[in-house]
């Protein structure tokens, strides 16, 4: 039985995801977050007039030192790669002069301290960075922002005991709802987790935006790769599309 928690919504629906028999508990923040790219002020990389529409890719990326997140980070790697760099023919892993792989705070500090020229980040973490390191943040400028990111999700395997699933779901969905001192204390915890509105129950369809993002990344990489001929590239694109449509069918599968 698929169980989803986001931030306060609908009852769970049975289902599967990614071909696995899984139960999901989803935590979804209502804060609108975007991937962002920051550069040191005066470094020669200017912010585009409109963000994220029609972004300008960095000219001569071989000149720049990049600080980025690890390759599975949505805002530290995937969205900047998908929406900014790959459309301009820039592969994050190979085109820059050097790279530092770190947390969002670490990448911002690397640029602020002159160890890198460009950093991937996100709007939520950069605002946190401003509060913790105001002097360093003053040295940075945002040069690009993505479309809103998919929601953060908390999941649990479907083969876990049903009683445990229900207990987890009830605890998380009810956390921060009660009135009085206990509820106040729980809401303070939620604020510290940057999820002040609490958790919502969701079904498998909430994973659609994440599946679409993964598909777009794989498709962009296929389009940017070198192929022995056009037929090989088209075959790869066809396999990706077939896999994506099969995955989406599973995510839309109603409860039996």
Length of the chain, please? 256
pTM comes to 0.64
pLDDT at 206: 82
36-82 confidence digits (pLDDT tens): 888 877 666 654 444 444 445 566 788 889 999 998 888 999 889 88
Residue 19 has pLDDT above 80, yes or no: no
Eight-state DSSP code of residue 4: E
Which pair of tokens denotes residue 57? 């890719």
Which pair of tokens denotes residue 13? 């629906």
Residue 241 has pLDDT above 90, yes or no: yes
Which pair of tokens denotes residue 108? 């911002």
pLDDT at 139: 92
Contacts of 49 (CB under 8 A, 6+ apart): none
More confident residue, 195 or 127: 127
Spatial distance between the Cα atoms of 217 and 121, rounded to a whole number of angstroms:
18
Mean per-residue pLDDT of the chain = 78
pLDDT at 199: 82
Residue 254 has pLDDT above 90, yes or no: no
- Which among 205, 214, 212, 210 has a CA at the least distance from the CA of 252? 205
CA distances in angstroms from 211 to 151, 172, 173, 244, listed in the order given:
12, 24, 24, 7
Contacts of 123 (CB under 8 A, 6+ apart): 33, 34, 36, 145
pLDDT at 67: 94
Which pair of tokens denotes residue 150? 């998919």
Spatial distance between the Cα atoms of 244 and 157, rounded to a whole number of angstroms:
22
Spatial distance between the Cα atoms of 214 and 192, rounded to a whole number of angstroms:
29
More confident residue, 155 or 11: 155
* Residues linked to residue 23 through DSSP beta bridges, in sequence order: 156
């Amino acid at each position: 039985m698929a169980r989803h928690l986001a931030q306060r919504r609908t009852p769970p629906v049975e289902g599967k995801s990614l071909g696995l028999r899984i139960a999901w508990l989803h935590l979804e923040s209502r804060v609108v977050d975007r991937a962002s790219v920051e550069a040191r002020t005066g470094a020669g990389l200017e912010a585009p007039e409109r963000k994220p529409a029609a972004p300008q890719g960095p000219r001569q990326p071989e000149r720049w030192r990049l600080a980025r997140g690890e390759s599975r980070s949505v805002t530290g790697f995937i969205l900047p790669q998908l929406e900014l760099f790959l459309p301009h023919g820039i592969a994050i892993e190979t085109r820059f002069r050097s790279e530092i792989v770190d947390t969002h705070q670490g990448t911002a500090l690397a640029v602020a301290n002159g160890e890198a020229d460009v950093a991937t980040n996100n709007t939520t973490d950069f605002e946190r960075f401003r509060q913790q390191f105001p002097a360093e943040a003053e040295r940075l400028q945002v040069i690009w922002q993505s479309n809103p990111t998919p929601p953060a999700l908390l999941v649990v395997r479907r083969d876990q005991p049903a009683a445990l699933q229900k207990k987890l779901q009830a605890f998380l969905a009810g956390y921060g709802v009660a009135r009085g001192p206990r509820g106040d204390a729980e809401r303070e915890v939620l604020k510290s987790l940057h999820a002040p509105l609490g958790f919502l129950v969701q079904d498998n369809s909430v994973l659609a935006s994440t599946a679409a993002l993964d598909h777009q990344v794989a498709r962009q990489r296929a389009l940017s790769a070198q192929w022995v001929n056009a037929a090989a590239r088209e075959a790869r694109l066809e396999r990706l599309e077939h896999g994506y449509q099969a995955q989406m069918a599973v995510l839309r599968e109603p409860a039996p």
